[in-house]
Structure 1
Amino acid sequence: MKVFLGYFLGLGAWGFGGPIATVGYMQRDLVERRKWLSPQDFLDGVALGQAMPGPLAAQVVMWLGFLRARSWGALAAAIAFIAPSFVVVLAVAVAYGRYQGSSLVQALFYGIAPAVMAIIAIAAYKLARMTNRRDWRLWTISVVLAVATAWTGTEIALLFLGSGFVMILVDAPPRWFRRRDRPALTIAPVAAIAWPVKALAAATGAGTLLTLAWFFAKAGALTFGSGLAIVPFLRDGAVHQYHWLTDAQFLDAVAMGLITPGPVVITATFVGYLAAGWQGAIVATVAIFTPIFLGVVLPGPWFLRHRDNAQIQAFVKGATAAAAGAIAGVVVVLSQQIVTDWATAGIAVATLAVLLRWKIKEPYVVAAGAIAGIILHWPW
């Protein structure tokens, strides 16, 4: 277990590229290279993560820890994965709060963001190829979800579930639709997540820390799919509802979530610090990951008991194909905002070419993007 946790600690320190890229790293390192997990165990975690609220990468990490040592394993894996990015983002938030200087952040983000988009695009394709193989039905689901996500600009959680149920009807239609046979994957976790949210609801007027806890618990419980999907929800609350940050500060917070390793929702740490200091950073981070943790460990035993069922396997295939398509759609949406001129387009294309031609570790690519951003966008 120590070696397992050591890997997640390292992943949290160098896992650049957002959720889909991080999932790709785990699939490459733990399934293909080290063979610590079977492909089915890994795909089960991806499918469970898509059915539950929260960022995919953190959910898969918790699931893999759960397979090793149940709830304690999930908690230990989550802490190991989240700790490095929490420390980095908190340190940056302290410096940011003291100096309020964002020119360097903007220059870094200018170069890093298009490079990261290229990394995510390649990782999304690899995940789809691993999941869909030569099944045209699964590729159809991926394409439909990619188009829907790109068209609407949001990830539609019901489409993840609907894709799973479509594959059940196609591959394993139930003969007797008895209540206990229904693949009710989402009933238990939704009910479980509701109780801590309701408990915090009564305390929202008691101070900034409790308000932070309530807000970020809602964010963790109500946002499905990639951690990037949480950004609109955070902006509405942090900027317009509670006025913790200005629009410019929020954009800098999102930049920190993107250019640092680990889950994108670590943006909560940055927002929490600007709202209420280091106590706010801790409260916001714990609050946003609590419902995500519950959404993995509570349905986990049920999922393990039923994962050999033909209907569950069909659901897993459909939901995972939908995940690959939806995150590809997110790449399109974000690229429209990030690739805004010839320079950013050149960085994105160059990154794609380099990664397709050579096996270069992602942190080096991100560092190159940062250097390009400083050269091209720094206010000399």
Structure 2
Amino acid sequence: MDSVGLGTIAREWGRIGCIGFGGPPAHIALLRDLCVVRRRWLSDAEFEDGVAVTNLLPGPASTQLAILCAWRLRGAAGAIVGGVCFIVPGLVLIIALAVLLLSDHAPSWVLGAAAGAGAAVPAVAAHAAYGLVPGSWKRVGAATAVRVRWVVYLVLGGVAAALTGPWLVLVLVAAGIVEMTVRVPSNRQVAWPVLAAMPAGGGLVWVAAKVGALSYGGGFVIIPLMREDAVHTYGWMTDSEFLNAVALGQITPGPVVQTIAVVGYAASGVTGALLAAAAAFAPSFAFVLLGGPRLERLRDNKRAQAFLTGAAAAAIGAIAGSVIPLALVLSHWWQFVLLAAAGAWLLLLRRGVVAALIGSGVVGALVSLL
């Protein structure tokens, strides 16, 4: 649709990037309101197809949906402008907060707020895993053998995240390949899921590329994917700082994957933050720009569906498994109180994630002042 100008795309996608608090559900709702309800640029069917297709791709689905919708309106130029404007507002904010938080002279109340919000992160991870189970289980179907394999993938992902962080990438990809092979046996190779696991380089670029290309099952799978490398392998940040990074990714607008920018800042300042963000979001742009019309075929591709079933189950297990090492990082008694309160807020009362993190941050700031 050439009648939609790049300036309009920049303005509207930038607006969503500024107000998109709440993660993928909020982003999808805002994009639908813009493209389907208010502007009528896309039909309901076109938008639903976009949601289905991006959920089959590795990487941050809501970011890919934003890029895909812009691509449908104005081709490659629209995809680049829309995607960048969707990502940049939250990225700028999270880098600014990282500069403040990781400063050598950060105010005590800022550190207290970060410790408080970080204390709620294990509960947020548990909430994310719990929320992903119904959809993944529904995708599995009624066959007993498939359900048994799904449980095995879930457990293996959890164990990998809790005990053997470096092997999580192999577990995710292996679960997808096994399920794909069992369900749709063939001698042909399907490149897109396998290529997602190939190293894109060393150090920061490789860590960021894993985040951008292997976020099967929701954005929170980035936690176990990043933690081992950022904290233990490369030592860019402490466990507490990593918790703070995850919290920042949740309370800022835009995609959760931009948490990688905080890791990049800890590794190499603002340059590292920008490099990490570029490496993490590059696969999303590549899928849309290079895939184009062929993406629609993924919705009916049985091999892609099977791969996602296995990989997503392992990813959900990894998210749940990450709760254990994240909780073990907490060092103050009041943080465990906040963790329990956040768990009750999210899992029992079923209230919002952002509110839990901000509330915990406020309590942490008050504790530090007292």
Deviation at 1:358, TM superposition (A): 4.5
Which of 102, 105, 117 in structure 2 is aligned with 1:112?
Answer: 117
The equivalent of 1:183 in structure 2 is 190
Give the TM-score normalised by structure 2: 0.70
Q: Which amino acid aligns with 1:62?
A: Q
Q: Secondary structure at the match of 2:57?
A: helix
The equivalent of 1:220 in structure 2 is 208
Deviation at 1:108, TM superposition (A): 1.8
Aligned residue pair count: 333
Aligned Cα RMSD in Å? Answer: 4.1
- Aligned counterparts, 1:161-310, within 5 A: 161-174=173-186, 177=187, 179=188, 182-186=189-193, 194=200, 197=201, 215-222=203-210, 224-225=214-215, 226-228=221-223, 229-235=225-231, 239=235, 247=237, 251-252=240-241, 255-260=244-249, 261=252, 262-263=254-255, 266-270=258-262, 278-279=270-271, 281-291=273-283, 293-294=285-286, 297-298=289-290, 302-310=294-302
- Aligned counterparts, 1:55-66, within 5 A: 56-57=59-60, 59-66=61-68
Deviation at 1:327, TM superposition (A): 1.8
User: Structure 1 pair 77/128, CA: closer, same or farther in 2 (3 Å)?
Assistant: farther
After TM superposition, the structure 1 stretch with the greater mean CA deviation from structure 2, 74-83 or 295-304, is 295-304
Equivalents in 2 of 1:99, 1:137: separation in Å?
54
Structure 2 gap segments, 5+ residues each: 38-43, 216-220
Can you list the C-alpha shifts for 1:234-282, whole angstroms capped at 9, x where unaligned? 346764xxxxx6x56x853651442342556545544655676655543
The equivalent of 1:362 in structure 2 is 353
User: Structure 1 pair 259/276, CA: closer, same or farther in 2 (3 Å)?
Assistant: closer
Equivalents in 1 of 2:262, 2:180: separation in Å?
42
Can you list the C-alpha shifts for 1:313-338, whole angstroms capped at 9, x where unaligned? 32232332332222222233323334
Equivalents in 1 of 2:350, 2:365: separation in Å?
25
Which of 337, 347, 352 in structure 2 is aligned with 1:346?
Answer: 337
Q: Which amino acid aligns with 2:169?
A: A
Can you list the C-alpha shifts for 1:167-216, whole angstroms capped at 9, x where unaligned? 33443334xx3x3xx3332356678x85xx5xxxxxxxxxxxxxxxx743
Q: Are the equivalent residues in 2 in contact too, given 1:93–1:273 (CA < 8 A)? A: yes
Q: Which amino acid aligns with 2:172?
A: F
Which of 80, 91, 97 in structure 1 is aligned with 2:96?
Answer: 91
Equivalents in 2 of 1:371, 1:298: separation in Å?
45
Which of 131, 134, 151 in structure 1 is aligned with 2:159?
Answer: 151
Which of 294, 313, 321 in structure 1 is aligned with 2:305?
Answer: 313
Equivalents in 2 of 1:36, 1:29: separation in Å?
16
Structure 1 gap segments, 5+ residues each: 16-21, 50-55, 198-213, 240-244
Deviation at 1:219, TM superposition (A): 2.2
User: Structure 1 pair 71/326, CA: closer, same or farther in 2 (3 Å)?
Assistant: farther
Can you list the C-alpha shifts for 1:286-312, whole angstroms capped at 9, x where unaligned? 344335643665456555334413333
Q: Secondary structure at the match of 1:156?
A: helix
Equivalents in 1 of 2:247, 2:299: separation in Å?
34
Give the TM-score normalised by structure 1: 0.68
User: Structure 1 pair 119/73, CA: closer, same or farther in 2 (3 Å)?
Assistant: farther
* Identity percentage of aligned residues: 25
User: Structure 1 pair 320/237, CA: closer, same or farther in 2 (3 Å)?
Assistant: closer
Equivalents in 2 of 1:282, 1:47: separation in Å?
27
